[in-house]
Amino acid sequence: MFRCIFSEGQKYKNLLNGRWVASRSGTWDQIFSPTDGSLVGEIPAVSPEEAGEFLETAVQAQKAWTTIPTNERAEVLHKAADILLREKDVIAGVLMREIAKNRKSSLSEVTRTADLIHFTAEEGKRVTGESLSSGAFPGFHETKLSIVNRVPVGVVLAIAPFNYPINLAASKIAPALVAGNAVVFKPPTQGSISALYLARVFCEAGLPAGVLNVITGQGRMIGDFLASHPLVNMIAFTGSSKIGKHIASLAGMKPLLLELGGKDAALVLEDADLSLAAQHIAAGAFSFSGQRCTAVKRILVLESVADKLIEKLLPLVQKMTVGRPEDDADITPLISNEAADFVQALIGDAIQKGAKLLAGNKREKNLVYPTLLDRVTVDMRVAWEEPFGPVLPILRVKTVEEAVRITNESEYGLQASVFTENVDSAFRIGAQLDVGTVQVNGKTERGPDHFPFIGVKSSGMGTQGIRYSIEAMTRSKAIVLNFH
């Protein structure tokens, strides 16, 4: 059982300097279940006037936290990971209700996050500096020695999206903390209650007051205040390209780690193992109903194997279960009616322009059935826009060069998959693709969490991933010894 008391009935509080607090104005945002519209709970709607205190107390707390030996900081993280695992069923239950993620994926988000935190705690102990002798540079001889350490940046502002309120929060909080930073965390509004459970885990693990402050409220109300605040030393953001670019415009010279949208393509070549490709594409496109930045969002298949691929893919889509997260359905309600309207508009545009509907195009409120569209062409919106829903367009191409060209014409550059039995083709094509990561014979995906996760173009800047995030949340500090 949890020890930190963080709610009164269905009113969940913010973590400020070690205390659980409501907003001073007494204003709350209500969070409703995307599945049945029932009230999941209420969260403080903090105003910009109150938000400054979350940053000020973090600045003070960081000064002491950074002096604590890394192995002791790591111990707090290990403890948090253990508590998270202990409470996995409770927290997965909250995820199911709050963001309609199915049971299996909710549990997997929690256990994956416990692994991430343990791994981060260990990786944090291996952060080292270096020393450089001036003797290596012409004209200096051994007159100087530069001792270069990694030091924390200070206060990290962490902002997470609704689709991974636990994992994409912890992937920022844990590296920041182990490196000696304080964190002010702004969760997604839909996802805030899950995120406050994560904060409760860190609180119970013994994190000193103020080292992690969690502030809820709608991004459009408090986001600009936080992102542009001079007490924030670095911003780690995951979310849409639109908000990411907006944050970048406010951030001034603050270092940024931005993981944004995607339009990942699966390129299926003539010599691909089509059964393997179909399985990976189906799982990659439709898990969490397509609400993943790394979802396979379009297939670019060589015309000669397109029918054979569809023969294998269509049955996998048709057998997907559609329904409630609690029943572990494959396809569950989207996060909002507006999200479903957007997906429906993309499907409608494609069909109206001549795409062939193979499955789906059925909707009950925000529950959109898995939709497969063939003969999608480049004049259709779904060829380019990120649906963040269960719709998968198939574009038939005549050559590999055409597939590469269409992949690269996207404004996004997160990941791409190449399905081929020829390793030379995989590497040749992989080198030509303008994306952060190319998956060979596998679906596009972020994990495991210690791998580098990179978005180029509108998909982001900087590299996420345990060691990479620690590097991004620390900076070099040099002290030069001069010999006389």
Does residue 452 bind ligand G3H (CB under 6 A)? no
Total of residues contacting ligand G3H (CB under 6 A): 8
Helical pair 48-65 and 219-227, crossing angle rounded to 10 deg:
50
Using the rule CB under 6 A, give the single segment among 105-113, 137-145, 220-228, 392-400 that binds ligand NAP: 220-228
Binding to ligand NAP, residues 325-384 (CB under 6 A):
none
The candidate with the shortest Cα–Cα distance to 458, out of 481, 431, 435, 480, is 435
Q: Which does 445 bind (CB under 5 to 8 A by kind): ligand G3H, ligand NAP, none?
A: ligand G3H
Q: Which does 447 bind (CB under 5 to 8 A by kind): ligand G3H, ligand NAP, none?
A: ligand G3H
CB of 77 to ligand NAP, least distance (A): 21
Does residue 407 bind ligand G3H (CB under 6 A)? no
The correct pick among 243, 267, 435, 473 for binding ligand NAP (CB under 6 A) is 243
Does residue 189 bind ligand NAP (CB under 6 A)? yes
CB of 101 to ligand G3H, least distance (A): 11
The single residue listed with the structure tokens 């459970």 is 197
Q: Which does 218 bind (CB under 5 to 8 A by kind): ligand NAP, ligand G3H, none?
A: ligand NAP
Output the CA torsion 458→460→461→464 (10° steps).
Answer: -160
Q: Which does 240 bind (CB under 5 to 8 A by kind): ligand NAP, ligand G3H, none?
A: ligand NAP
- State which residue, 205 or 243, has the beta carbon closest to ligand NAP: 243
CB of 56 to ligand NAP, least distance (A): 19
Whether 453 contacts 250, CB under 8 Å: no
Task: Reply yes or no on whether 259 is catalytic.
Answer: yes
Question: Left if phi > 0, otherwise alpha if psi is -120 to 50, otherwise beta: which for 396?
Answer: beta
Nearest residue to the partner ligand G3H, using Cβ: 293
CB of 300 to ligand G3H, least distance (A): 20
The candidate with the shortest Cα–Cα distance to 119, out of 88, 81, 168, 84, is 81
Does residue 163 bind ligand G3H (CB under 6 A)? yes
Out of 293, 385, 386, 445, which one is annotated catalytic?
Answer: 293
Binding site for ligand NAP (CB under 6 A): 159-163, 168, 186, 188-189, 218-220, 223-224, 227, 238-240, 243, 246-247, 259-262, 293, 386, 388, 414, 455, 460
Catalytic residues: 259, 293
Binding site for ligand G3H (CB under 6 A): 163-164, 292-294, 445-447
